[in-house]
Amino acid sequence: MGIKKWRENLLIPESGRKMDFYDGGLIVAVAYRRVVIGWRGPYIEFGKEDLVWNSLFMPGDQEWRQEEEWRGRVFYLEWRTREGGRMVYEQLREVGYADYRVGMYYMSPWDLRTIEKEKLIEGEKPREAR
């Protein structure tokens, strides 16, 4: 599926606003900045203050990414939601396939819901985004 089709299938606005996001029954964010649509599909962008941090954790097998020797080499830090284990990317470096911003956080719209919407995008999650 291409960028145009993903844009058409979004069920939330591309520009951000205050909105509570859930993974199951757990609130994980209270607002978003925008939806970024790149070669690997759409991702919802969050600022640090948009996330509910007690709903997230860094898996033990991902802590190496924070070590000084690796920090300059890796593109992101991996966080997970406490309820469903959904991935949250903390962007550390720019990439060529999407307009991800350093210091921002990203989640797949297939991994979240709101009170009003059980799904945030139509269609199947692309293989690249799994």
Mean pLDDT on 105-125: 92
- For 42-99, write each residue's pLDDT tens digit: 999 999 999 999 999 999 888 888 877 787 888 999 999 999 999 999 999 999 899 9
pLDDT at 32: 98
What are the phi and psi torsion angles at 5 (to 5°)? Answer: -70, -40
Residues in the chain: 130
Domain count, the chain: 1
The predicted pLDDT at position 129 comes to 54
Structure tokens at 91: 């962007």
pLDDT of 128 strictly over 70:
no
Cα angle 102, 108, 112; round to 5: 125
Question: Range of 42's domain?
Answer: 3-129
The pLDDT of residue 39: 87
- Single-letter code of the amino acid located at 10: L
Cα dihedral 26, 28, 9, 127, rounded to 10, equals -90
* Mean pLDDT, residues 27-43 taken together: 95
Integer Cα distance of 102 and 83 in angstroms = 26
